[in-house]
């Protein structure tokens, strides 16, 4: 049985759609029908919106499993800053590359989500995400 089978298969809420766009590297959608929405002008944005609106129920469950993982990974980044000021405490030594490794893991899962959705990664994931320590 799939690990996502216990998750909701309802249509995505607006908050979930925002998070999916964000994790896929796409910019904010805008205020509905009024104003400029970049997805109207780029095929990949329109494809993403079409897919989000027309997924099978079981596919929505898989996307929600991605979201669960991505939320956890995203929250781990700020938490990693709790130990940035400690080089060594007793026998514990901070992993100097923890933040970089966590960011890479987050971006890896975000790219897997875009792959599952069948859309190119958005502009935000195309940017160099180097962190210099």
pLDDT tens for 20-63 read 999 999 887 776 555 555 545 567 778 888 999 999 999 999 99
pLDDT over 80 at 127, yes or no: no
pLDDT in tens, 108-121: 999 999 999 988 88
| Predicted pLDDT at 45 | 78
pLDDT in tens, 61-103: 999 999 999 999 999 888 776 665 555 666 666 667 778 888 8
HSE-CB for 71 with a 13 A CA cutoff: 11
| Predicted pLDDT at 14 | 93
Please name the residues in contact with 122: beta carbons below 8 A apart, sequence gap of 6 or more: 21, 24, 25, 26, 27, 44, 114
| Predicted pLDDT at 63 | 96
Domain boundaries along the sequence of the chain: 14-126
The residue with greater pLDDT, 88 or 122, is: 122
pLDDT over 60 at 128, yes or no: no
Confidence of residue 1 (pLDDT cuts 50, 70, 90): low
pTM summary value: 0.75
């Amino acid at each position: 049985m799939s690990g996502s089978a216990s998750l909701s298969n309802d249509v995505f809420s607006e908050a979930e759609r925002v998070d999916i766009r964000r994790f896929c590297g796409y910019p904010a959608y805008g205020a509905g029908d009024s104003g400029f929405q970049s997805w109207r002008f780029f095929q990949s944005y329109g494809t993403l919106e079409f897919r989000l609106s027309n997924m099978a129920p079981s596919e929505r469950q898989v996307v929600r499993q991605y979201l669960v993982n991505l939320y956890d990974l995203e929250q781990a980044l700020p938490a990693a800053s709790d130990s940035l000021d400690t080089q060594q405490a007793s026998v514990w030594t901070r992993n100097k590359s923890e933040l970089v490794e966590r960011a890479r893991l987050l971006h890896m899962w975000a790219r897997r989500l875009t792959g599952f959705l069948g859309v190119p990664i958005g502009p935000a994931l195309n940017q160099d995400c180097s962190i210099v320590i």
